[in-house]
Chains A and B, each alone.
Chain A
Amino acid sequence: MDLNERPVHELLELLAQGAIRLEEVLADLEAAIRARDQEVHAYLALAEQEELLRDAYAKSQTLLRGLPIAVKGNICTLEFPTTCGSRLLEQYRSPYEATAVRRWKEAGGTVGGITNLDEFAMGSSTEHSAFGPTRNPWDLGRVPGGSSGGSAAAVAAGTALAALGSDTGGSVRQPAALCGVVGLRPTYGLVSRFGLVSFASSLDIIGTLTRDVRDAALLLSIIAGGDPQDSTSLPVPVQDYTSQLRPDIRGLTVGVPKEYVPGQLGAEALALVDRWKAVVEELGGRVEEITLPLTEYALPTYYLVASAEASANLARYDGVRYTLRGVGRGAAEMIAASRTLGFGPEVKRRIMLGTYALSAGFFARYYGKAQKVRTLIAQEFTQAFTRVDFILGATAPSPAFRVGEKVDPLAMYLSDIFTLPSALAALPAVSIPGGKVGGLPFGLQLIGPRLSEARLLSWALALEEALS
């Protein structure tokens, strides 16, 4: 019956009608995982089938009826190790669970497994996992994007109904685009970070990877809302985003920044963008070409801010706790040896960069300046939103690239150029499947003003319906 290929909201409806039974959903999921996960390697850990069934029965009368989601390996759960894709945390089990996971479970959901990621969410291809790369279900020779590549690939492969990911500079949206699923990055602070292992605290947020826009609304309704355990979470009450969905863009103005559709996208992608614009107009919206000239500064700004915060956030992995310990005479040598042994090259690169950016004598020139540019980028968006209702463009500059293709770190960083600016500005953004380029999924990104999720998802739904 391929129930594993259906969105969560449909399954809930079928379950409510009694048209299907939960064990059928779980059986289809298990079959898909058996058939595909060995080659895709989306999962780092999987729940026991019997346990999922037992949980599901106990929760059959709840909102989510015991349906499982996949959770990215940097979000704490009680049931599985939280490895962050790192050797350093290979054995680490969290004694508490993330607020988002707790809310999912309290609503009657379960956790089906933990997904692969670039180590500590640093990367755009899920090749930087200590436990091996994840592959793109559309083409196993290609990457699924990253860092939430495991979550995106699992949904695309039908081995998860939906998944949680985390987005620091594009880590939900870019893999969603490359795997042909929907990836939502909410407004910074709308979902609690409590239990999300910090990479760059001022940018990190938990987002969703789903089969369609309605599921994004459904998941967000459950995990969003202020949390007293996260001082940076916004005091926003829990709300039902699904009931607020109005797929209607008549009379709205859609801004298309020229920086988000540069010539190097290639003819096929540019033609796709033209189709998106035509669809907007067919739906009664107005397309306005705009410019966001600070876009080119987003990449250096992001890598300074995020790396600086990461250099402090990752200092706790010192060999004193968390099982992996290097050998050295005295504490300093032991700490250095542990970190040398435990971290992969990309993580080390960013710790070095961040440490340098914060050093005495360089702080003002790098970190301080980056913060100022960040403010300017946010102002540029605020300005743009006085003229347009939302911003549309490509999610990533190319469809999925080949495994091992991007050896140069900078080439890898460039795959996030369209997702970084809105992350720096703390804005909500969603990537939906926008068509194919070279036979591979190509993502359409919509960016909205702060806390505009209900509207943003409505517009995304309108485009999703028109494009499918």
Chain B
Amino acid sequence: MQTVIGLEIHVQLSTRTKLFCPCRADYFEAPPNTLTCPVCLGLPGALPVLNKRAVELALRIALALGSEVRERSVFDRKNYFYPDLPKGYQITHHDEPLARGGRFTFFVDGHARTVRIRQVHLEEDAGKLVHVGDGALVDFNRCGVPLVEIVTEPDFRSAKEARAFLQELRTLLRHLGVSSGDMEKGAVRCDANLSVQVGDRPGTRTEIKNLNSFRAVERALQAAEEYHRELLAAGETIAQVTFGWDDHADRLVVQRTKEQAQDYRYFPDPDLVPLVVTAEWLARVRAGMPELPRARALRWLERHKLTPAEVEALLPEPALANYFDRVAGELGDGKTAASWVLAELRQYWTGEEPPLPAEDLVLLIRKVGAGEISRTTGKELLAEAAQTGKSLPELLARPDLVQLGDEQALVQVAQEVIAAHPQAVADFRAGKAQALGFLVGQAMKKTEGRADAKKLGEILRRLLSP
């Protein structure tokens, strides 16, 4: 028995305005029905006008997936009644989508897997129902927000693969700058279909709608797989059902059966003209493509000799990845840059902006490298700059730090320690090497850890040598 899974992923584009009107698209936490206009409300006589920026972001996705962008695509009307759908139809690419074909490679347990992409197309989102008591209220803010739907071929063999794919797809979307990729905010939503093939006979497909987290995708698909396998093992036939996923109860819920299947009566939207993507336009979009995460990972592995774990930690957030690239580039030492960014800087990065300008971190790493300040001091300064917003160059200019950086000051500390601990000095001179460690420790204590221990060791050794 072979499990066969295909995915349909809805990606909310991070355009400023909606797909067919000038309303703001970022509806998250906006008061209900404040981001609407005659067009997205579908008021009588209002007409859609396509947002070119949304097309460009969709083209980025298509190009990144290696899909073939079609010169001419046509928006269709998908007809169905639902209170959150103000026009009674959704505008979507159907028969003639934006792009067809393509493939995407991702890793599962360290092994590469490639799935084929069937198509990439644009469509508008619907509104939202808010259930209150035995009624419901409608919020039309989300109406007309641009979505890109990515449809895969049924190439996944397990729930785990589907999850791994989605996680890497999200990284790709973020690096492309096309979507926030936040599943918890609904910016990426997933429908899945699953069948279990016995021998050569393809199985009956069941669909699962609206999976809104990586966990939900994996759990729902596992549950569907079990459902299929149990029925097949019992010799029963599988009905064509559409499931929803109840996250709290952790189980599948039947939404509709085949008898209730909808006829969407697709036909070309006569309010819009065909979308023509000229070779010049596509070339401009291609030229503006950022470096893809896969290429970046390879570059880091090869040029900077980062470990796979470091790559995995740096890659998912494009802002962090870009920050690392700047630091590594200026420093000319990716390994050191990675260790500082991951071990020290990342913990302070909570907002949109980096907690410390990249050039400041480079300066700090250089000071530590030159032995002007200790690594410990460096960490403390980084923490202070990041948490208080004080400027790092100013912190570095503090008089006590400068003294610790210069040789003279360290020699004085070393002489004081030698004078205070005659026994250890005698031990060292008698050949007990670990006595030097004790003396370095005492000197560090005196400087409150701000001196460079290595340098102190050298100075002590020099002063104590005959």
Contact = CB atoms under 8 A, between A and B. Distances in A.
Interface in A408-455: none
Contacts of B89: 312, 315
A41 to B, nearest CB: 23
Specify which of B47, B89, B271 lies most central, judged by the most chain A CB atoms within 10 Å of its CB: B47
A359 B45 contact: no
B86 A321 contact: yes
Given A315-B89, A331-B82, A194 B265 contact: no
Given A82-B44, A197-B45, A331-B82, A232 B270 contact: yes
A102 to B, nearest CB: 12
A193 B49 CA distance: 13
A179 interface: no
Interface string B73-92: 00001010111001111000
Given A355-B265, A358-B267, A228 B44 contact: no
B446 to A, nearest CB: 74
Contacts of A363: 265, 267
A62 interface: no
Contact of A232 (B43, B45, B136, B271): B271
A316 B45 contact: no
Contacts of A314: 88
Given A316-B86, A358-B265, A332 B47 contact: no
Interface in A303-343: 308-309, 311-312, 314-316, 318, 320-321, 331-332, 335
B45 A196 contact: yes
Contacts of A359: 263, 265
Nearest to A358: B265
A229 interface: yes
A299 interface: no
A198 B38 CA distance: 14
Given A231-B48, A312-B79, A312-B88, A201 B270 contact: yes
B464 interface: no
A231 B272 contact: yes
B269 to A, nearest CB: 8
Given A84-B44, A195-B45, A318-B81, A360 B270 contact: no
A309 B270 contact: yes
Interface residues of A, number: 44
B108 interface: no
Given A96-B38, A228-B49, A231-B271, A360 B87 contact: no
Contacts of A96: 38, 43, 46
Contacts of B254: none
A76 interface: yes
A232 B273 contact: yes
B42 A194 contact: no
Specify which of A89, A312, A360 lies most central, judged by the most chain B CB atoms within 10 Å of its CB: A312
A295 interface: no
B198 interface: no
Contacts of A92: 44
A326 B45 CA distance: 23
A214 B41 CA distance: 39
Given A202-B270, A355-B265, A94 B45 contact: yes
A229 B83 CA distance: 26
Interface of A: 74-76, 82, 84, 89, 92, 94-96, 98, 193-198, 200-202, 228-232, 308-309, 311-312, 314-316, 318, 320-321, 331-332, 335, 355, 358-360, 363, 367
10 contacts: A76-B45, A82-B45, A84-B44, A95-B43, A197-B44, A198-B45, A202-B270, A228-B49, A316-B86, A320-B83
Which are the 8 A-B pairs with shortest beta-carbon distances? A315-B88, A201-B270, A358-B265, A202-B270, A197-B44, A195-B45, A197-B45, A360-B263
